[in-house]
A and B are shown apart, each in its own frame.
Chain A
Amino acid sequence: MEFLQPPTWREALEARAAHPDALPIWGGTDVMVELNFARKRPPALLDLTRVSELSRWDVEDGGVRIGAGVSYTRVIDELGDRLPGLAMASRTVGSPQIRNRGTIGGNLGSSSPAGDALPPLFATGAFVDVASARGERRVPVEEFVVGPKRNALADDELIAGVWLPLRAGSAQQFAKVGTRNAMVIAVCSFALDVSDGRVGTCIGSAGPTPIRAREAEAFAEGLDSWSEDAGREFGDLVAMAASPIDDVRGTAAYRRHALSVLARRTLKWALCG
């Protein structure tokens, strides 16, 4: 195995082009588990922790651009005011040790249907910045995640960061079901982003990818105010949009029911403050 540790982004992209089989690593919270359990033996590790610009976030183009190497802890501490949905989701990731190392870029790279940071990115309509020595492109996050643990990255591309729009008066919520309050992979989760005239949603961990509940969004966009009936209808529409399976963490039927509850609750929180 080779250990590649480029000091700059340009050299990282060149290393990626020269080693398309290299496994990128930042926080290691997914990658090192694969190595420790001998599930993966990539020909090279591409350590991106020395590329300083990956650890930056900036307010730009009416949104926030977060470098791929920004940890969950930093999202919580530094972006909780601007991106409350993503910060809430980040707070449910693992433990302090995991949040200190795990990154938004890594969650995108893993593209797990249970990735906690993904539903807020989908709900808010985020874009993923990917780059190679050939150039850069900005991909809607819904087109980036293409299947369970599969994404649209080409062999020579790396995730540079993610851009999330900032909308005036946006009320964001995130809720997750698990067996305890920490160190838990989501049984299911739900993200909601309500702003003037727009409702974004996303179901996590109940389908091959995170899923936006389009009909529920259209229904909620037509609401004038909160009512219990509207909340139930919204919950039902979200549950119908899910595509869950039975697995060790829960049954499909449980996930659908739990999602209807999470959707109803988060809509109430978002509309009633």
Chain B
Amino acid sequence: MRLTCTINGEPREVDGLWEGESLLYVLRERLALPGSKNACEQGECGSCSVYLDGVLVCSCLVAAGQAEGREVVTVEGLAPSEDELHPVQTAFVEAGAVQCGFCTPGLIVATHDLLARVPNPTDAEIREALAGNLCRCTGYEKILDAVRLAAAS
């Protein structure tokens, strides 16, 4: 099967897909975009979060063919250039919200989505927005700090 879609603003075409594979598999294994992490493969952990036509989704739960003709934005597509971080990424670094780093890409995309919808979220709104992203290192406090910092910056 062939997939044609836009990824991080660029038209991409991939051949030889298995019809049952996920968008996450396409990103990581076929397009060399390993920013989206593969952990639970069942939508529980949020580490594969991407935008599909502007909507925050778990890419492990999107069948590759469902992305046909759609626009996908991954964590690799958020920063303005190779040399710069997105303000959400900067806030995570500055707040010490990154430890092992595995959950970070998903949290960055989920935070990016939250702040696009709610520029000044309450703590309750932050918790609800990030409820689908699991972190096993930080205890979340510094992640909350990072979101508050990103909202303020």
Contacts and interface: CB of A to CB of B under 8 A. Distances in A.
Interface stretch (B18-26, B28-36, B85-93, B138-146): B18-26
Contact of B19 (A1, A29, A181): A1
Contacts of A32: 22, 43, 60-63
Chain A, interface SS category: mixed
A67 B55 CA distance: 19
Contacts, number: 91
A96 B63 contact: no
B1 interface: yes
| B interface residue count range (under 10 / 10 to 19 / 20 to 34 / 35 or more) | 20 to 34
Contact of B131 (A27, A28, A96): A96
B132 A183 contact: yes
B63 A94 contact: no
A59 interface: no
A95 B42 CA distance: 12
Interface in B107-132: 110, 113, 128-129, 131-132
A1 B49 CA distance: 26
A219 interface: no
A97 B43 contact: yes
Best-buried of B41, B57, B110 by chain A (most CB within 10 Å): B57
B57 A2 contact: no
Contacts of B43: 29, 32-33, 94-95, 97-98
A28 B44 CA distance: 13
Contacts of B61: 27-29, 32-33, 97-98, 101
B46 A100 contact: no
Nearest to A42: B20
B132 A95 contact: yes
B22 A36 contact: yes
A32 B22 CA distance: 8
Given A33-B41, A45-B19, A97 B57 contact: yes
Interface of B: 1, 18-20, 22, 41-44, 46, 49, 55-58, 60-63, 65-66, 68, 110, 113, 128-129, 131-133
23 contacts: A1-B20, A3-B19, A5-B68, A25-B63, A32-B43, A32-B60, A32-B62, A33-B42, A37-B41, A37-B42, A45-B19, A47-B65, A47-B66, A95-B132, A96-B110, A97-B57, A98-B43, A100-B57, A101-B57, A101-B61, A182-B131, A182-B132, A183-B131
Interface of A: 1-3, 5, 25, 27-29, 31-33, 35-37, 41, 44-45, 47, 49, 94-98, 100-101, 181-183
Given A44-B19, A96-B128, 8 more contacts: A47-B63, A47-B66, A95-B133, A96-B132, A97-B49, A101-B62, A182-B128, A183-B44
